Chains A and B, each alone.
Chain A
């Protein structure tokens, strides 16, 4: 992954235009890529910001008392507990909300991709991407059951 950012310049995209089927398809594919890129970057920034706020809150709240072993600090295990904890201003719940936003980022990316493939009228990939989304949602249900 390293270095590619440095080698890539924004302008050469025009060079491969003649290879694309039609300019309209190309424009749609490009807007799909921009949308996915925005969702990923936005998700990381949002979750990183919330997590950072939670960690700083944790330092402020725990500064006066010592809970000792890090593995003994209580924390929420379910969505309900996380939201309730955030309502009470609990630092560990705010951190957890940030982490859950991070887990939700690829899920959102997949959901958005379904719409983007539908916009390109690529029904086969609408179906394939929907299968991935269902697997992810099932994994969350499995985790709840197990």
Chain B
């Protein structure tokens, strides 16, 4: 077997792992596959980002199909804020051409650390607070729609099977959410990631949407956001099919395996180990950004 075929197989296997770990930790595959492709396989970062943005479309569209069918997604909020994320994605794809590769490593590592923080802190808290009542303590507050949200008809409802009731909710602070979404789009276009952590921040923290509707709507928006920069990366020649093909298939397969299988098998300790490994990977990316190769 030639070394090229071996590398292609290795890329595929690494992407399956990235997709699986990503779904276990509630992260997208992109934020994990880029460090693996660059640090472990020593591929140029622009190919890693080009491959990653493609895989992001695959995983988010697959998951979004389920959430939309189950009526968790707020289509109006998603469509309206996609104006901001797609504009941001175009901006990000152009910023990528003017920043140096080593700066890209550092920005990527910081975003990865930021994305890991909510998952890691929850895992650590779960380990500390052993016993009943540690989970789901915070009752979610549903807000009323403010003027602009009412004008845009953004309020909606979904059926929460866990609570066995329909949750009706409003939306507020649309301009703030729009601004954060533009930033989320820049992160996505610049780094080739879904940027779900920023999108959920806008929907949940800024606009007051319930977390289930926020994550479903975020997922829905990720595909359209990624398509905006993926088209640019394709025409620029940064999407190398020999890399991006196995990455897209691998991350998609990994995320399906992760959601259906690993989520039941892997406990908090396994997840925490993965979170630590990813933290170390991001520190290694920062070092690489400063020219230190380990």
Contacts and interface: CB of A to CB of B under 8 A. Distances in A.
A120 B64 CA distance: 21
A135 B249 contact: no
A16 B8 contact: no
Given A43-B61, A71-B240, A103-B231, A135 B86 contact: yes
A65 interface: yes
B214 to A, nearest CB: 11
Interface residues of A, number: 78
Contact of A13 (B26, B71, B73, B245): B71
Interface string B154-168: 000101011010101
Q: Point out which of A34, A67, A106, A129 has the most chain B C-beta atoms below 10 A from its C-beta.
A: A106
A87 interface: no
B234 interface: yes
B236 interface: yes
Task: Tell me if B's interface is mostly helix, strand, loop or mixed.
Answer: helix
Contacts of A7: 161-162
Given A34-B69, A106-B227, A135-B86, A77 B235 contact: yes
Contacts of A144: 235
Contacts of A1: 23, 26, 63, 67, 215, 219, 259
A63 B5 contact: yes
A15 B79 contact: no
A39 B252 CA distance: 17
A122 B161 CA distance: 29
A7 B159 CA distance: 11
Interface in B83-127: 83, 86-87, 89-90, 93-94, 97
A95 B219 contact: no
Contact of B4 (A3, A10, A73): A73
B14 interface: no
Interface of A: 1-5, 7-10, 12-13, 15-16, 19, 30, 32-34, 36-38, 40-41, 43-44, 47-48, 51-52, 54-55, 58-59, 62-63, 65-71, 73, 75, 77-78, 92-93, 95-96, 98-100, 102-107, 109-110, 113, 122, 124-125, 128-129, 131-132, 135-136, 138-140, 142-144, 146
23 contacts: A1-B67, A1-B219, A15-B159, A33-B73, A37-B65, A37-B66, A41-B65, A51-B249, A77-B234, A78-B235, A95-B244, A96-B241, A98-B245, A98-B248, A99-B245, A106-B223, A109-B223, A122-B153, A125-B76, A129-B79, A143-B93, A143-B235, A144-B235
Interface of B: 1-5, 7-8, 12, 23-24, 26, 43-44, 47, 54, 57-58, 61-73, 75-76, 79-80, 82-83, 86-87, 89-90, 93-94, 97, 152-153, 157, 159, 161-162, 164, 166, 168, 212, 215-216, 219, 223-224, 226-237, 239-246, 248-249, 252, 258-259, 263
